[in-house]
A and B are shown apart, each in its own frame.
Chain A
Amino acid sequence: MADNSIKIFTGNSHPELAKLVANRIGIDLAKVVVAKYSNQETSVTIGESVRDEDVFIIQSGCGEINDNLMELLIMINACKTASARRITAVIPCFPYARQDKKDKSRAPITAKLTANMLTVAGADHVITMDLHASQIQGFFNIPVDNLYCEPPMIKYICTKIDNWKNAIIVSPDAGGAKRATSIADRLNLDFALIHKERKKANEVSRMVLVGDVRDKIAILVDDMADTCGTLGLAAKTLVENGAEKVYAIVAHGILSGKAIKVINESVIEKLVVTNTIPHEDKMAICPKLDIIDISPTLAEAIRRTHNGESVSYLFSHVPE
């Protein structure tokens, strides 16, 4: 048991999630004002003492990513110079996670740069969800907890999708096969894969289905849905191959650009995303959008980290 208390700070990226997490733990959010000077520089004013406290800063990599990243770094640094005992950065959607390898000449590995920046700013611990590649944990010298959205997704499938026993889990690309198979094994369902040939970034060409989806409910599982080109084409391919209905469950619903339009016009029955990224404005214009709340998982992780208990429970169960 720790003798200091938990302080949860939030930036401007996703204050609703922070409020849910704090409610779940049973405390109030700590007082902080994060604003911008007139010349666009970020200003952080911490409103309570953090000396020798266990500080958790919740900030997601969404919206104005660079602004939110700078807010996070400055808050971490402010708490460090204010003698916090330990500073944990809780980043539900890790920014720049897709730029994690040098795949062409002179490409930056921005994920590594972000990891370095967090460490230099003074973070002692990072909690994140469904990293694009779990090897990103190796970019850090500090401990990283990569939580999984899989238990909440499984709970959603079992409770909200009718006739799920007749479903088939489909991965929209070869890279996500491992993720999809682990869900399929857990639910004892069949598995299929869509193999795509990509010509340019954010533009998909041909899709080939491997497996049989005739007369089944297809559930597409992926970690990110950005422009939703992949999902739209995958759904079309599945329906052309005889699937009855198509659901899409995605951990991080970035939904930028024309994504909502693509989803509304596609054959997808429902697009289910977690609330690692705020979605209020998108719910209004997209009737097919459904949200899984992952704040219980984050709250449990924070509580267990603070008390020094094991977090492994969260890798296979959803806290009630």
Chain B
Amino acid sequence: MILFGSFSFPFYPIFFSSSFFFLFCLSMRNLIVFGGSSHPELTAAICRRLGICPGKTKLSKFSNNETSVEMHESVRERDVYIVQSGCGHVNDNLIELLVMINACKIASAKRITVVVPYFPYSRQADVPFKPSGAPLTKLPPATPKYPPEPSHQQEDIAKQVLRRLAQTSLQDQKPEEPKNRYREWVARSGRLVADLLTCAGADHIITMDLHDAQFQGFFDCPVDNLISKPLMIKYIRLHIPNYQDAVIVSPDAGGAKRATSVADRLCMDFALIHKERRQIVTQKTDLMLVGDVRGKVCILIDDIADTSYTITKAAKMLRENGATKVIALVSHALLSANAIENIDQSALDELIVSNSIPLDPHINSPKIKVFDVAPIFTEAIRRTHFGESLSMLFDTKHDLL
């Protein structure tokens, strides 16, 4: 599927007359795809498939760290697509995206569509966990420390909070005030990011495998939430020998729906790993396997692999329960903090991820493989531009990609 090359004609019935070809090229001239600095390879792949060159821009930072965006092609009355993923330096990439949208909007673009393979701030914040795995139920408030720590290490949020609490508890000598019944909560920024994109001027959003499908409701503009399931199914069919004997496993209860839809499509067995909280007092969590994996190859399916605790713990449990091989198929591989070491040392045999997020070129792990999602975005862009239906991208019966 990756060898499909530049665009081809099978979707349009009539077309080798030169006049149509001329019109076709004219309306392709109205299409322009810009790439942000988060994932230039994906932008290049999309443009190669569309048969156009990426729009010329100069993206950099001023000496005082402000983002500088220069668009070097005219966008007046053109259909603009901006490809930017929410990875790496998330805030920098997000502001760069907003400034690019704004630049196109005030330069009279006809319509601006934002293509965000991995949508940032789309997850509800998790309650921080202690290193042992139990959640921190009480998060005592910490006063900010001066000067602030240099926060360039990619530390887990739980460790950061614990470190700051440890420092302030050494500082505070006065007795604790009576507990004031206030329950700390972590701000959820999903709605804010949706509002920011809309106020910058985006008319349409194309994204993939949103963590919560309800996120589409945060926007007032149309949102296309593409799915990578057809590509995952294709990968399983082509690259996993004897896949009919394998078991699809969901590493948590929330992903059960996603995993069962893949299992049903391929007529495979299904299992589920469940985080059960037995005792409310000690808050110990136990992982329980629902289903039988003895002597089978297990395929874990999840949407996001961030710190990779979920899939590595799941892999360990599957091995303990008799699985012969554990493969994980993940849509978005953030792989932050020490995820790569975790994966290398874990019971996982293979981790297959999509290229919605660029993989660090320094990663040489033999366990990590990539499947290409550029075809999905290319089709979505082309169909959106020509005003055609996107339904076939959601239908796994079509093997077009």
Contact = CB atoms under 8 A, between A and B. Distances in A.
A154 interface: no
Contacts of B192: 73-74, 77, 120-121
Most A CB contacts (10 A, CB to CB) among B144, B164, B185 go to: B144
B187 interface: yes
Interface stretch (A60-68, A176-184, A289-297): A60-68
Contact of A36 (B87, B121, B151): B151
Most A CB contacts (10 A, CB to CB) among B154, B156, B196, B198 go to: B196
Given A10-B144, A256-B63, A66 B92 contact: yes
A15 B71 contact: no
Contacts of A32: 144
B66 A65 contact: yes
Contacts of B139: 45
Given A38-B157, A40-B154, A66-B91, A202 B65 contact: no
Interface of A: 10, 12, 15-16, 19, 28-29, 31-49, 62-67, 69-70, 73-75, 77-78, 81, 95-96, 98-99, 102, 105-110, 112-113, 116-117, 119-121, 202, 226-227, 254, 256-257, 280
B99 interface: yes
18 contacts: A15-B144, A29-B143, A31-B143, A33-B141, A33-B142, A33-B161, A39-B336, A40-B336, A42-B90, A43-B157, A43-B186, A45-B184, A49-B182, A64-B91, A77-B192, A106-B75, A112-B102, A256-B65
Contacts of B125: 43
Interface string B173-215: 0000000101011111101100110111000000000000000
A293 to B, nearest CB: 16
B157 A37 contact: yes
Given A47-B142, A69-B91, A107-B103, A96 B66 contact: yes
A121 B106 contact: no
Interface residues of B, number: 68
Contacts of B66: 65, 95-96, 98-99, 110
Contacts of B103: 106-108
A41 B148 contact: no
B307 interface: yes
Interface of B: 62-67, 69-72, 74-75, 87-92, 94-96, 98-100, 102-104, 106-107, 120-121, 125, 139, 141-144, 146-148, 151, 154-157, 160-161, 164, 180, 182, 184-189, 191-192, 195-196, 198-200, 306-307, 334, 336-337
B198 to A, nearest CB: 8
B102 A109 contact: yes
Most B CB contacts (10 A, CB to CB) among A28, A41, A105, A257 go to: A41
B112 to A, nearest CB: 12
A66 B96 CA distance: 9
Nearest to B140: A47
Q: List 4 A-B pairs, minimum CB-CB distance, nearest first.
A: A47-B141, A78-B187, A108-B103, A38-B337
A40 B91 contact: yes
A73 B70 CA distance: 25
Nearest to B65: A65
